Structure 1
Amino acid sequence: MAQSDKRALLAEGLAAGDDDAALHARLVDAGISAAAAKYEVDRLAKDPMAAMLRRQAARMAKQDWLFANQQRLAFEAEGGFALDVLADPEPASFYRHHYEANRPAKLSGIIDHWPALTRWSLDHFAAVAGDAVVEAQVERERDPDYELAKDDHRRLIRFGELIGWLRKDEASNDIYLTAYNSGANAAALAPLWDDMAPIAILDDTRPRDGFFWLGPKGTLTPWHHDLTNNLLVQVLGRKRVRLAPPWAFARMRDRRHCFSDWGNEALLAGEGDATNPPVLETIIGPGEAVFLPVGWWHQVEALDLSASMSFTSFRRANAHVDDYASYGAVG
């Protein structure tokens, strides 16, 4: 076996927390003689890189223990591992028990005063902005990594043309106007703000600060976590939202940036197991919302023709992206 292959085996073992005996066994299992394996393991005692890998493995083991404690506490909580449901929450209570506690929740009653609940329809969208040119994500179904490669799927389209396609009422994940397109669409879709009003739990000094989503039944946002706290508000149609906690990181198959290799997998709601993460699941309809805390994994599926708004304009800095550095490969 080449020396580089031996070193790779040793590095893998050190990163996994193997002691000398386990490292020796790993090499022997790979076909290396016992004597050669002993020689390679003995050399590690003077290798500073091996010492660093051992310290890193110890730190990771400590982190795993801390995450395991978070899981135990969540499962032992009154009501068990469940999604809180809040009716028109008082802002101070919401911030103390959910925003600051990094705890998700389903909310109702927070946009009952929005004209959008009765106005928004394809006819209304066509009337107020049908001639505008908007940006959308298209041809998503041909690309399994459409979310990671979303820049490749940006296209300009007349809003009325998109509305015409949506009138077919066909299930599809191929076209979706998303928050990622909001920068390009802010001016074109500005008239829709007249159908909205301030939300009590958000920062009232930042009006008209949100992101518009519109797509057919069948649009899927695959498993990922955001770099900010988010409030997803449903106005038209229904969406299924699945969530998994940050402390389930080891089971979320995160290999790159904030995306999970679970992709569009419909992970079952429940406490999970050694392979599958714990998952919360809910359906939000018109007038309902879900609070998605920073770091919580989630997947969103449109069950009907769907129009939503999302907001990051909380009464806190919500500046978690500033020191985020894991944009490349993670695992």
Structure 2
Amino acid sequence: MIVGLFLDAFIFNLIPSYSSAELPTAYIAQSDLLNSTPQLLDDIPALTHFYQGKEKSLYRRTIWIGPSGSFTPFHKDPYMGIYSQIVGRKRFHLLPPAASHYLDLSPIPRHANTSQIPVPVSRILSDGPSSKDLQDLPQGTIQKCKEQLEKAFSIPGACQIDVAAGDSVFIPEGWWHTAEGVDGPGVGVNAWFR
């Protein structure tokens, strides 16, 4: 799909629809657009100050574009990363490596670094009205996820971080993290270093 068409359809809602209830959600996640579209690199320079510390090399840079509510489930990366928000806001939840046994990890070996919790953390831990994302989940599943997440967030170092345009968040190697778009569409880029 051409990026412009994606933006028109899912971010700017410029393609007619019968009702907003029929609008699908789409998310460009972890896309290597930065390498496939070199002109973007001029607008998103490398983080040269990073190299002033310990010797590290840039592993990969990607772009994330999504509407409010788009999310990435809890996962951990083998490298340290820096995520920078360009447009909109995003909420991150970070957990230390010790939280592994609370995150309902995938039994599939190649996805063993990813949680099976099916909705954003904020919707499970919210005391507000039930989210439409939760309507299709059995109440027992919701309660189990809530109890597990409450235990995970009691571990020292666990935190929530909101980033707005111009903000960045450092994600340590091996730390569990999830991200959710809030308050409208968002665009961000990240870089992993090894």
TM class by shorter chain equals 0.5 to 0.7
> Does residue 1:225 correspond to 2:104, yes or no?
no
Amino acid at match of 2:180: E
More displaced stretch, 227-236 vs 245-254: 245-254
What residue is the counterpart of 1:299 in the other structure? 178
* TM-superposed deviation, 1:163: 1.9
Alpha-carbon distance between aligned partners in 2 of 1:200 and 1:185, rounded to the nearest angstrom: 16
Q: Deviation digits for residues 43-89 of structure 1, max 9, x if unmatched?
A: xxxxxxxxxxxxxxxxxxxxxxxxxxxxxxxxxxxxxxxxxxxxxxx
CA shift in 2, pair 1:222/1:202, >3 Å: same
* TM-superposed deviation, 1:167: 1.1
Alpha-carbon distance between aligned partners in 2 of 1:174 and 1:311, rounded to the nearest angstrom: 25
| 8 Å contact kept, 1:236–1:286 | yes
Provide the TM-score with structure 2 as the length reference. 0.66
Alpha-carbon distance between aligned partners in 2 of 1:260 and 1:173, rounded to the nearest angstrom: 23
- Give the structure with the higher percent helix: 1
> Does residue 1:211 correspond to 2:62, yes or no?
yes
> Does residue 1:167 correspond to 2:167, yes or no?
no
| 8 Å contact kept, 1:223–1:263 | no
What residue is the counterpart of 2:47 in the other structure? 199
* TM-superposed deviation, 1:235: 0.8
What residue is the counterpart of 1:289 in the other structure? 168
- Matched position secondary structure for 1:287: coil
* TM-superposed deviation, 1:242: 0.8
- Matched position secondary structure for 2:5: helix
CA shift in 2, pair 1:291/1:173, >3 Å: farther
- Matched position secondary structure for 1:163: helix
Provide the TM-score with structure 1 as the length reference. 0.41
* TM-superposed deviation, 1:229: 1.2
Matches within 5 A, 1:93-132: none
* TM-superposed deviation, 1:250: 2.1
Matches within 5 A, 1:241-260: 241-256=92-107, 257-260=112-115
How many residues are aligned here? Answer: 153
Alpha-carbon distance between aligned partners in 2 of 1:247 and 1:300, rounded to the nearest angstrom: 19
Amino acid at match of 2:4: G
What residue is the counterpart of 1:309 in the other structure? 189
What residue is the counterpart of 2:141 in the other structure? none
Match of 2:35 among 186, 189, 207: 186
Structure number with larger C-alpha Rg: 1
- Matched position secondary structure for 2:51: coil
> Does residue 1:235 correspond to 2:113, yes or no?
no
* TM-superposed deviation, 1:222: 1.0
- Matched position secondary structure for 1:186: helix
What residue is the counterpart of 2:134 in the other structure? none
Alpha-carbon distance between aligned partners in 2 of 1:292 and 1:207, rounded to the nearest angstrom: 15
**CA RMSD across the alignment:** 3.1
Alpha-carbon distance between aligned partners in 2 of 1:208 and 1:225, rounded to the nearest angstrom: 15
Q: What stretches of structure 2 of length at least 5 have no aligned partner? A: 15-19, 127-145
CA shift in 2, pair 1:201/1:247, >3 Å: farther
CA shift in 2, pair 1:224/1:263, >3 Å: farther
> Does residue 1:262 correspond to 2:130, yes or no?
no
Higher RCO, 1 or 2 (CA under 8 Å, sep at least 6)? 2
| 8 Å contact kept, 1:193–1:208 | no
Q: Deviation digits for residues 220-249 of structure 1, max 9, x if unmatched?
A: 101111222111111111001111111122
| 8 Å contact kept, 2:34–2:40 | no
Amino acid at match of 1:220: F
Match of 1:276 among 151, 160, 179: 151
Q: Deviation digits for residues 106-146 of structure 1, max 9, x if unmatched?
A: xxxxxxxxxxxxxxxxxxxxxxxxxxxxxxxxxxxxxxxxx
| 8 Å contact kept, 1:223–1:264 | no
Amino acid at match of 1:164: D
CA shift in 2, pair 1:197/1:206, >3 Å: farther
- Give the structure with the higher percent strand: 2
Amino acid at match of 2:43: D
* TM-superposed deviation, 1:209: 5.2
Identical-pair percentage: 22
Q: Deviation digits for residues 273-323 of structure 1, max 9, x if unmatched?
A: 77621141111001111111122111100112111010013xxxx2xxxxx
